Amino acid sequence: MNSKSEVVVVTGAGLGRAIACAFAKRGAKVGLIARGGAGMAGLEGAKRDVERFGGTALILPCDVADASQVEEAARKAELELGPIDIWVNNAMASVFGPVQDSEAADFKRVTEVTYLGQVYGAMSSLRRMRTRDRGRIVLVGSALAYRGIPLQSAYCGAKHGIQGFADSLRAELLHEKSGVKLCMVQMPAMNTPQFDWVKNLLPNKAQPVPPIYQPEVAAEAVYWAARHGRREIFVGASTVIAILGNKLFPQVGDWYLGRTGFKSQQRLGQPKDGSAPNNLWEALPGDRGAHGDFDAQAKSFTPQLWLSLNRKWLALAALSVVGAVMLGRTVMGYRK
- Over residues 202-243, the pLDDT tens digits come to 999 999 999 999 999 999 999 999 999 899 999 999 999 999
- Across the range 285-311, mean pLDDT stands at 94
Helix then strand then coil, in percent of the chain rounded to 5, is: 50, 15, 30
Can you give the residue ranges of every domain in the chain? 7-301, 310-336
Residue 191 contacts residue 215 (beta carbons within 8 Å): yes
How sure is the predictor about 335, in pLDDT bands with cuts at 50, 70 and 90? low
Residue 312: pLDDT band (50, 70, 90) is confident
Q: How far is CA 246 from CA 147, 154, 243, in A?
A: 6, 19, 5
Whether 1 has a pLDDT exceeding 60, the answer reads no
Span 152-171, average pLDDT: 98
pLDDT number for residue 16: 97
Q: Is 270 helix (H, G, I), strand (E, B) or coil?
A: strand
Query: pLDDT band for position 334 (50/70/90)?
Result: low
Q: Which helix (H) or strand (E) holds 76?
A: helix 67-81
Q: What is the pLDDT of residue 311?
A: 80
Give the model's pLDDT for residue 325.
64
What average pLDDT does the segment 87-116 reach? Answer: 98
Interval 150-169 mean pLDDT: 98
Average pLDDT over residues 305-315: 83
> pTM of the entire structure?
0.93
Question: What is the predicted pLDDT for the residue at 4?
Answer: 62
Residue 68 banded pLDDT, cuts 50, 70, 90: very high
How large is the average pLDDT for residues 6-12? 97
CATH of domain 7-301: 3.40.50.720
In 3D, which of 217, 21, 180 has the Cα closest to residue 86? 180
Looking at residue 315, its pLDDT comes to: 73
Three-state secondary-structure class, residue 117: helix
Lowest-confidence pick of 98-102, 298-302, 315-319, 332-336: 332-336
What is the reported pLDDT for 336?
60
Catalytically annotated residues: 155
User: What average pLDDT does the chain have?
Assistant: 94
pLDDT confidence band for 160 (50 / 70 / 90)? very high
- Residue 318 pLDDT: 67
Residue 170 is predicted with a pLDDT of: 98
Query: In the sheet where 86-89 sits, what is the strand order?
Result: 56-61, 29-34, 7-11, 86-89, 135-140, 180-186, 232-234
